[in-house]
Chains A and B, each alone.
Chain A
């Protein structure tokens, strides 16, 4: 799905290109009323197939993880073989694999993702509990790095080759290539723990100190939010910047920009009205991909900052392996990405009239 969405603008430009061989001979392409519904149906069907593939893959993939869930549940105590067998029966692990699979699929279709081994709670409850925390962290970071990336990318392209562009793009590229957990740890060491006489300015982890109410609680959460958000923004904004910059550079030599200038438009209007709307198409694709990823959370950053979100939960579940929780999270993560990509496909015609007609 990702590749599909990313290739869409390329197809779009191709559609406008073939004027050379005389489209007059072929006649104008007439927009038909049925084109868009058919386009929507195609994209939705594609999304459904992808989701099914995720369901199947998730089930079998995580059964390859080494480790015996029953051993974890007994916590290393001496247990008789009968007791182990009883546990296996309880969680359905004694059934043949294909039966486990059909049971899982049947329940998943009704919204029942099973019961977590380690928390002894329904998987769906664990997920809905952690989801808002993750969305708070990744959503805040998403808004900031997208805005920063587009703003700086546009400016870098418009002044490409100058010192500001080279420094800005170089910095973005450097930060983009840093491992997020490493940057997170550095920030914790310098700004949370404090070096020498410098006091720690921010909490080392978690989402709240506990015991706060009302406004104080909001401020406390915001205080905890700073370092993980800074880490995410620093690592992520570079991608948006680079995509925006290169797309705008591609557009900058375009003939229609000369037309716009010849009409007497000011330089900033040429950029805002004509160049950026065209150049933003690849960025829009990236935005929706990133939007899908906000649900998946950020396993490394959440783990480093002990953030009680889906990413941290996934890490805990994997180490068991807590199969129902792992499968459930995997499904939710994938569904979010598929949903956002489908949404991007459906909204694309709004940004580029050449798509989906």
Chain B
């Protein structure tokens, strides 16, 4: 059984904006999944939906199986028990995710006491250990957030996420707004902690390069859907979906001077989630769109071993590849999206 199994997740905000439109994701314990996409593609909504933190009036559909238990079907008491103890979130601590008028030690100890993991004295001791674990002196527990630097605040946020030994950690833009040196430190820290404690990690970022360097698998989201998914390196270096391709080309590649002088952006803006284009939601910005893309929605389909992409060209490529290999065997690569859906490791 997977640690996290998201099936057909949909999120519609009170105003009618469809932020997430049928997302399937799987994550095993000890593995790291990256979710990439532009602002507004639904990746942060997805993170909040996993712990049902979206505002009242938001409609959520599908299933979120955390250790086999559907979060969306839980009673509120159970949801609160699962929050932080089962899965915790590393928010952008460098910004405003810490309460400005409470000492960081108290904020780390709060979930420990709330979920009855320790006595007040034990929680204090654990807080000191957690701070040292993330590379801060235990004495910093008595500091207020404004007395810490951005990187230190992010470390506090990570210590806080580890407080109740969750099985799953969701890191929502954990390194955004940090300078590059601190960013690298934080990423190494997260990697080390995940490896040490065998937790599952979902890391959300707009920075494909960061995700490719940290995660095992990568899912690229566009307009509330996963449009490409596969092993992180492969998706980053040889994307199959034109959007994922544009996203990876938008960041200069280390060791490839040519990419620095020809950064390729993507023209246009992500679509308004309350008025999505017909057909494939990406077709108005797609450099290789066909006429049929304006009318035919593209499901995720198999695109090579352990890879999926939602593009009509992928279907053609696979067909050609099969024809070239002369494999008319009926047991070949599954073509139907229904079968392809569950091909993650």
Judge whether A262 is part of the interface by a CB distance below 8 angstroms.
Answer: yes
* Chain A residues near B94 (CB-CB < 8 A): 19
Q: Are A264 and B111 in contact (CB under 8 A)?
A: yes
Report whether A353 and B146 are in contact in the complex, using a CB–CB cutoff of 8 Å. Answer: yes
Closest residue on chain A to residue B79 by CB atoms: A264
Complex: chain A residue closest to B47, CB-CB: A262
| A224 vs B2: C-alpha distance when bound (angstroms) | 73
A24 near B178 with CB under 8 A, answer yes
With A22-B178, A24-B179, A258-B91 already in contact, the answer to whether A29 and B99 are too (CB < 8 A) is: no
Of A26, A28, A265, A354, which is within 8 A of B152 by CB?
A28
A258 to B44, CA, bound (A): 13
Check if B114 sits within 8 Å of A265, measured CB to CB: yes
Establish whether residues A277 and B115, one from each chain, have CB atoms under 8 Å apart when the complex forms. Answer: no
Complex contact B99–A354 (CB within 8 A): no
Q: Is the CB of A255 within 8 A of B92?
A: yes
Contact pick for B111, options A263, A278, A351, CB 8 Å = A263
* B157 nearest in chain A by CB position: A259
A15 touches B146 (CB 8 A): yes
* 8 Å CB interface, A133-171 against B: none
List residues of chain A with CB within 8 A of the CB of B91. 255, 258-259, 262
Residues of B contacting A23 in the complex (Cβ-Cβ under 8 angstroms) = 149-150
Please name all residues of chain B whose beta carbon is closer than 8 Å to the beta carbon of A77 when the two chains form the complex.
none
Interface residues of B in 157-201 (CB under 8 A from A): 160, 177-179, 182
By secondary structure, the B interface counts as loop
A22–B148 Cα distance when bound, in Å, is 11
User: Are B101 and A28 neighbours in the complex by a CB distance under 8 Å?
Assistant: no
Partner among A31, A263, A353 whose Cβ is within 8 Å of the Cβ of B83 = A263
CB proximity to B under 8 Å, residues A330-357: 351-354
B98 within 8 A of A: yes
Q: Answer whether residue B132 sits at the interface, using C-beta atoms and an 8 A cutoff.
A: no
**B94: nearest chain-A partner, CB-CB:** A19
B151 closest partner in A (C-beta): A24
A264→B81 contact, CB < 8 A? yes
Interface membership of B85, Cβ < 8 A: yes
Asked if A261 and B115 make an inter-chain contact with CB atoms under 8 angstroms apart, the answer reads no
Contact mask for chain A residues 13-33; partner B; CB cutoff 8 A; 1 contact, 0 none: 101100110111111111100
Q: Is A120 engaged at the interface, CB distance under 8 Å to the other chain?
A: no
From B83, B101, B153, contact of A19 by CB (8 A): B153
Contact B101 A263 (CB under 8 A): no
Is residue B145 contacting chain A, with contact meaning CB distance below 8 A? Answer: yes
Tell me which residues from 71 to 117 in chain B have a Cβ below 8 Å from any Cβ of chain A: 80-85, 88-89, 91-92, 94-102, 110-111, 114-115
User: Which of B97, B153, B179 gathers most chain A CB within 10 Å?
Assistant: B97
Query: Chain B's nearest CB lies how many Å from the CB of A279?
Result: 10
Residue pair B84, A19 in contact (C-beta under 8 Å): no
Contact between B146 and A16, CB atoms less than 8 A apart: yes
* Neighbouring A residues of B148 by C-beta, 8 Å: 28
The answer to whether the Cβ of B51 comes within 8 Å of any Cβ in the partner chain is yes
Q: In the complex, how many angstroms separate the beta carbon of B187 from the nearest chain A beta carbon?
A: 15
B92 close to A22 (CB less than 8 A): no
The answer to whether the Cβ of B147 comes within 8 Å of any Cβ in the partner chain is: yes
Q: Which A residue sits closest to B85, measured CB to CB? A: A264
User: A266 at interface (Cβ–Cβ under 8 A)?
Assistant: yes
Q: Which bracket fits the contact residues of A?
A: 20 to 34
**Contacts of A266 on B, CB cut-off 8 Å?**
80
Most chain-B CB neighbours within 10 Å: which of A25, A259, A277? A259
Task: Return chain A residues, CB-CB under 8 Å to B13.
Answer: none
Give the distance in Å from the alpha carbon of A266 to the alpha carbon of B77 in the complex. Answer: 9
B144 and A354 within 8 A (CB): yes
Minimum C-beta distance from B131 to chain A (A):
14
- Shortest beta-carbon distance from A82 to chain B in Å: 70
Asked if A24 and B149 sit within 8 Å, CB to CB, the answer is yes
- Cβ < 8 Å to A, chain B residues 117-157: 143-153
Establish whether residues A16 and B182, one from each chain, have CB atoms under 8 Å apart when the complex forms. Answer: no
User: For the complex, what is the distance from the CA of A255 to the CA of B100, rounded to whole Å?
Assistant: 11
Could you tell me if B146 and A354 are in contact, using CB atoms closer than 8 angstroms?
yes
Flag if A264 contacts B147 (CB, 8 Å): no
A262→B96 contact, CB < 8 A = no
Question: How far apart are the CA atoms of A16 and B95 in the complex, in Å?
Answer: 9
Per-residue 0/1 for B2-23: is the Cβ within 8 Å of any A Cβ (1 yes, 0 no)? 0000000000000000000000
User: What sequence of 0s and 1s flags, for each residue 236-269 of chain A, a beta carbon within 8 Å of any chain B beta carbon?
Assistant: 0000000000000000001110111111111000
A274 within 8 A of partner (CB): yes
In the complex, which of the residues B83, B99, B111 contacts A256, with contact meaning CB atoms closer than 8 Å? B99
Which single residue of chain B is at the shortest CB-CB distance from A26?
Answer: B149
Residues of B within 8 A of A (CB): 48, 51, 53, 80-85, 88-89, 91-92, 94-102, 110-111, 114-115, 143-153, 160, 177-179, 182
Closest 5 CB pairs of A and B: A264-B83, A24-B149, A263-B111, A264-B80, A353-B144
Q: List 11 A-B contacts (CB under 8 A).
A: A16-B146, A19-B150, A22-B177, A22-B179, A28-B143, A255-B91, A258-B91, A262-B91, A264-B82, A278-B100, A353-B101
A-to-B contact residues, CB < 8 Å = 13, 15-16, 19-20, 22-31, 254-256, 258-266, 274, 277-278, 351-354
